[in-house]
Amino acid sequence: MKMTRMFAGAGLAAVLYTGTFVEGAEARSDKAWDKDRSNQTINIAHRGASAYAPEHTMASYQLAKNIQADYLEIDLQMTKDGQLIAMHDTTVDRTTNGTGRVKDLTLKEIKHLDAGSWFNVKYPEQARKLYEGLAVPTLEEIFQHYGRNANYYIETKSPTLYPNMETELLRLIKKYDLQPKRRSLHSVIIQSFSKESLLNIHEQNPDIPLVQLISYGSKATISTEQLQELKRYATGVGMNYRMIDEVYVQKVKEAGLWIHPYTVNNRTDMERLIQWGVDGMFTDQPDQLKIINRMQMRMAR
């Protein structure tokens, strides 16, 4: 992948947020991170900074890094030849110029696709020439590029389609030395709507924090029994923020689980959820959450 393609979003970040823009410079000591985090809500860049760059491309992840989001959120699919790639859908249709199921395409075939131009057409106000022709990254390329200089919030998508995806994910986490270490912040969190997928991972590696995603069709409630069952294998839960209220948040927190709602893209909702006590949230606009976190830190001084 060409450097120009990988860092298409860097200029845009300077407009969005006047922070530190040195690529790869955010490797902080664990102590520093802990200090920064006190009083703050974990900022999870959903599919990267996907409001401003094509989701799940290196441009989107780099923009999230420039904004200094705490985690890069990565959805996983698996190619016909067993490679984990960053993609939300089971087909390439929506986010590339190709068609077909990921499981029926080889990595070589997927690498020929343009994963950026659709964004310029759909969001002309955010369009950038550099987004044209961006490639679909593999998980390994993302790990190779950022290593321990980023934190990853990874979702096993459609695990029933890809029987070996958990084993391959754990292999890459180990290869790139991203396993939890004593007293270190979590380099990797794994999330899934599939309990089976999380249990599979928990069995293979009980040290990696797991977040159970829960789908609610109406107002969310959760019982003490459900919370106890979740605590057997999960460190936290995630759900659509529109379905929860303060009582739900408190119940989850009292059980000792993290709560990370998705996908929160306006400041009023962010502030309300912070007031309710959520530990973190997924957002397409990590720059907005960054601003709120900074304001809260100033007010707390």
Q: Which of 13, 16, 17, 75 binds ligand G3P (CB under 6 A)?
A: 75
CA 163-209-80 angle, 5° bins: 20
143 binds ligand G3P (CB under 6 A): no
Contact partner at residue 186 from ligand G3P, Ca ion, none, CB < 5 to 8 Å by partner kind:
none
Q: Which of 55, 155, 284, 287 binds Ca ion (CB under 5 A)?
A: 155
283 binds ligand G3P (CB under 6 A): no
Q: Assess whether 202 carries a catalytic annotation.
A: no
3-state secondary structure of 3: helix
In the complex with Ca ion, the residue whose CB is nearer, 155 or 287, is: 155
3-state secondary structure of 117: helix
Indicate the residue whose CB is closest to Ca ion: 155
How much of the chain is in helix, strand and coil states, percent to nearest 5?
Answer: 40, 15, 45
61 binds ligand G3P (CB under 6 A): no
279 binds Ca ion (CB under 5 A): no
Residue type, 290: K
285 binds ligand G3P (CB under 6 A): no
Q: Assess whether 46 carries a catalytic annotation.
A: yes
In the complex with ligand G3P, the residue whose CB is nearer, 46 or 290, is: 46
282 binds ligand G3P (CB under 6 A): yes
55 binds Ca ion (CB under 5 A): no
From 89, 39, 44, 63, select the one nearest 263 (Cα to Cα). 44
CA distances from 196 to 98, 136, 158, 166, 257 (A): 31, 27, 11, 10, 19
Find tokens 């709120």 and name the residue.
Answer: 292
3-state secondary structure of 101: strand
| Residue numbers annotated as active site | 46, 88
